[in-house]
Amino acid sequence: MKITHIEVIVASFARIPGGGPNCPIVKITTDQPGLVGWGNGALSGGELAVAALIEQHLAPRLIGADPDRIEDIWQMFHRSTYWRAGRILASAVAALDVALWDIKGKRAGLPLYSLLGGKSRDKILTYGHASGNSIDQTIEQVLAHRDRGYRAIRVQVATPGYEAGSYGAGGSRGARREDPDIHPSRRVHTWEPTPYLRTIPKLFERVRQEVGDSVELLHDVHDRLTPIQVSQLARELEPYHLFFLEDPIPVENKDGLRVLRQHTTTPIAIGERFSSKYEVLPLIIGQLIDYVRNAVSKSGGITELRKIATIAEPFQVKSAFQGPADVGPLAYAATVHLDFAIPNFGIQEDSHFAGEIREIFQGLPEWSDGYYTVSDRPGLGVDVDEARLRAKPYAPFFFPVIRREDGSIQDP
Site residues for Mg ion per CB under 5 A: 220, 246-247
Closest approach of Cβ 167 to Mg ion, in Å? 8
Question: Of residues 127, 162, 167, 240, which has the active-site annotation?
Answer: 167
Min dist CB 28 to Mg ion, Å, is: 30
Least Å from the CB of residue 251 to Mg ion: 10
The nearer residue to Mg ion, 162 or 167, going by C-beta atoms, is 167
CA distance 88 to 51: 9
Q: Which residue, 168 or 329, is less far from Mg ion as judged by CB?
A: 168
- Which residue, 96 or 308, has its beta carbon nearer to Mg ion? 308
Nearer to Mg ion, 220 or 350 (CB): 220
Please spell the DSSP secondary structure of 18-86, one letter per residue. Answer: T--SEEEEEEEEESSTT-EEEEE---TT-HHHHHHIIIIIIHHHHTT--TT-HHHHHHHHHHTTSS---
Which residue's Cβ has the minimum distance to Mg ion?
A: 247
Give the distance between the most distant pair of CA atoms in the chain.
62
Active site residue 57: no
As measured in angstroms, the least distance from the Cβ of 221 to Mg ion is 8
Q: How many other CB atoms are there within 10 angstroms of residue 306's CB atom?
A: 17
Q: Which of 78, 145, 222, 337 is catalytic?
A: 222
- Shortest Cβ 133–Mg ion spacing (Å): 20
Residues 168 and 155: beta-carbon distance below 8 Å: no
Q: State the Cα–Cα distance between residues 402 and 229, nearest whole angstrom.
A: 19
- Determine whether 222 is an active site residue: yes
Nearer to Mg ion, 295 or 312 (CB): 295
CA dihedral 234, 235, 238, 240 (to 10 degrees): -70
What is the rounded distance in angstroms from the CA atom of residue 167 to the CA atom of residue 235? Answer: 21
Which residues, in sequence order, are CB contacts of 402 under 8 Å at separation 6+?
165, 188, 189, 190, 191, 409, 410, 411, 412
**Catalytic positions, please?**
167, 222
